[in-house]
Amino acid sequence: MTTELPDAVRKLVAEIETEIGESDEAALAAPIEGSIARHGDVRGNGSRSGRVEDAVRDILSEIGEDPARDGLIGTPERVHRMYAELTAGYHVDPDRLVNGAIFPVDYSEMVVVKDVPFYSLCEHHLLPFFGTASVAYIPRGRVIGLSKIPRIVEMYARRLQIQERMTQQIADFLNERLDPQGVGVVVEANHLCAVMRGIRKPGTVMTTSAVLGLFRSRDRTRAEFLDHLARRSPDA
């Protein structure tokens, strides 16, 4: 059964989907499919009926803490809200995100959007990984509005992820929506699962790429993309 998202998450989803200048009322009025409450009942305030909170209390007890002590009483609810925000990307409507912002333009040179910051959650340990995504495509008579590319990154980052899949999803989305001559995506990120636990090596950076069309078949195109990434940004 489809139910409503909590207001805070609906607003976050609307921020990803809509442009500055659109009213909050209009953004929040649209139905959002598949809310976080799809696994349980919803209270009148839009939150889950307590299954997430109960699970957090069980975890606190399992690690030797007292869920009833002063500092932890509100933690289960806070954790629930946090995960709802960090996974809001599941509820973004791709059509509302694009919102018709694909335009016919007689332009066939590379378009590059560099250093888009993102924060995501590793699906293996539910620990954050974060960094930047750089996205390029070569139009085939159509371009997408500039602000849409950071929104696409945000849509896929706010899910349980692995970096490799997120990189490919960004590339596939642009390829399907624009049918360009080629798409290239490079993502660089730090993973707290490699810093806080396991190998415990701070400063380790993971780089992933996805290349489609001319970026895959033509060395010169791929080299041009990498050359753009190596240049310093104007405000660097």
**Which member of 4, 19, 123, 176 is catalytic?**
123
Q: How many Å apart are CA 33 and CA 140, to the nearest integer?
A: 32
CA distances to 106, 176, 220 from 213, rounded to whole Å, are: 19, 12, 13
Query: Where do the structural domains in the chain lie, given as residue ranges?
Result: 7-91, 100-230
Kindly name the residue from 163, 169, 181, 224 that is annotated as catalytic: 163
Q: Give the pLDDT confidence score for residue 200 in this predicted structure.
A: 87
Rg of the chain over all Cα atoms, to the nearest angstrom: 20
Supply the pTM of this predicted model: 0.85
Given this model, what pLDDT does residue 99 score? 95
Instruction: Dump pLDDT digits (tens) for 140-191.
Output: 999 999 999 999 999 999 999 999 999 999 999 999 999 999 999 999 999 9
Choice among 4, 19, 39, 124 that is catalytic:
124
Q: Choose, from 65, 188, 193, 228, the residue flagged as catalytic.
A: 193
85 a catalytic residue: no
Q: What are phi and psi of 204, to 5 degrees?
A: -70, 130
- Superfamily of domain covering 7-91: GTP cyclohydrolase I, N-terminal domain (1.10.286.10)
**Residue 123 annotated to the active site:** yes
Task: Tell whether domain 100-230 is in CATH 3.30.750.200.
Answer: no
Which of these is catalytic: 122, 161, 169, 224?
A: 122
Q: Quick check: is 161 catalytic?
A: no
Specify whether 228 is catalytic: no
Our answer to whether residue 91 is catalytic in this structure is no
Identify the active-site residue in 80, 169, 191, 224.
191
Chain-centroid distance, C-alpha 90:
9
pLDDT of residue 5 exceeding 70: yes
Write out pLDDT tens, residues 52-111: 999 999 999 999 999 999 999 999 999 999 999 999 999 999 999 999 999 999 999 999
Q: What is the mean pLDDT of residues 111-131?
A: 97
| Set 125, 168, 188, 228: catalytic member | 125
Residue 187's contacts (CB-CB under 8 Å, 6 or more residues apart) are 131, 132, 133, 134, 163, 166, 167, 170, 207, 208, 209
